[in-house]
Chains A and B, each alone.
Chain A
Amino acid sequence: MHGEAGGHALESVPIFGLDAMLLATLVLVVTYAVIISEKVNRAIVALLGAGTMIMLGVLNQEAAIRGIDFNTIALLVGMMIIVAITKRCGVFQYIAIRATKQVKADPAGILLTLQAVTAVLSALLDNVTTVLLVVPVTLIIVEELKLKPYPFLVAEIFASNIGGTATLIGDPPNILIGSQVGLTFNDFLINTAPIAILVMIVQAAIFHVLWGRGMTAAEEDRERVMGFREIDAITDWALLKKSVAVIGLVTIGFVTHHALGLQPGTIALTAAALLMLLDSLGRDAEAQSEGVHHTFGEVEWITIFFFIGLFVVIAGVERSGLLELLAHEMVAATGGNLAVTAITILWASAVLSAIVDNIPFVATMIPLIKAMGPTFGGAEALEPLWWSLSLGACFGGNGSLVGASANLTVAGLAERSGHPIRFLPFLKLAFPMMFVSIIMSTVYVTLRYLI
Chain B
Amino acid sequence: MKCQDFMLTDPPRLEQSQTIEKAIKTLIDSKLSALPVVDGSGRLVGLFSARELFGRILPAAVKLGSLVPDLAFMDEPLKHTKGDLDRISRDPVGQHIEKNPQVAHPDTTMMEALLLLYRGRSVLPVVEKGTNRLVGVTWRLHALAKIMESNSDAR
List A residues at the B interface (Cβ < 8 Å).
Answer: 87-88, 90, 93, 97, 132-133, 135-137, 139-140, 143-144, 224, 227-233, 235, 413, 416-419
Contact = CB atoms under 8 A, between A and B. Distances in A.
B146 to A, nearest CB: 36
Interface in B54-107: 59-61, 63-64, 67-76, 80
B78 to A, nearest CB: 13
A233 B72 contact: yes
A140 B67 contact: no
Nearest to A230: B73
A90 B69 contact: yes
A419 B61 CA distance: 10
A113 B16 CA distance: 45
The 3 lowest CB-CB distance pairs between A and B, nearest first, are A139-B61, A232-B72, A233-B73
A231 B70 CA distance: 13
Given A143-B60, A143-B61, A136 B76 contact: no
Nearest to A418: B60
Q: Main SS of the interface on chain B?
A: loop
A132 B67 contact: yes
B73 A97 contact: yes
A2 B71 CA distance: 60
A417 B80 CA distance: 21
Contacts of B67: 132-133, 135-136, 413
B61 A136 contact: yes
Contact of A139 (B60, B71, B73, B80): B60
Which residue among B60, B75, B80 has the maximum number of chain A CB atoms within 10 Å of its CB? B60
A232 B70 CA distance: 10
A136 B68 CA distance: 6
- Interface size, B (range): 10 to 19
A228 B74 contact: yes
Nearest to B72: A232
B61 A140 contact: yes
Contacts of B63: 416-418
A294 to B, nearest CB: 11
B73 A93 contact: yes
A143 B73 contact: no
A136 B61 CA distance: 6
Nearest to A90: B69
B75 A136 contact: no
Contacts of A228: 73-74
Contacts of B74: 140, 228
Contacts of A87: 69
B59 A144 contact: yes
A372 to B, nearest CB: 44
Contacts of A139: 59-61, 64
Given A140-B59, A143-B61, A93 B76 contact: no
Contact of A93 (B59, B60, B69, B75): B69
Given A136-B61, A136-B67, A232-B72, 4 more contacts: A90-B69, A231-B73, A233-B70, A416-B64
A413 B64 contact: yes
Contacts of B73: 93, 97, 228-233
Contacts of A133: 67
A417 B75 contact: no
A143 B63 CA distance: 13
A137 to B, nearest CB: 8
A224 B76 CA distance: 7
A333 to B, nearest CB: 47
Nearest to A87: B69
Contacts of B70: 90, 233, 235
A232 B75 CA distance: 11
Contacts of A224: 76, 80
20 contacts: A90-B70, A93-B73, A135-B67, A136-B61, A136-B68, A137-B61, A137-B68, A139-B59, A139-B64, A140-B59, A140-B71, A143-B61, A224-B80, A228-B73, A229-B72, A229-B73, A231-B73, A416-B64, A417-B63, A419-B60
Contacts of A93: 69, 73
B88 to A, nearest CB: 15
A325 to B, nearest CB: 47
A228 B72 CA distance: 9
Contacts of B71: 140
Contacts of A140: 59, 61, 68, 71, 74
Given A136-B64, A413-B64, A417-B61, A235 B76 contact: no
A321 to B, nearest CB: 47
B64 A417 contact: yes
Contacts of A229: 72-73, 75
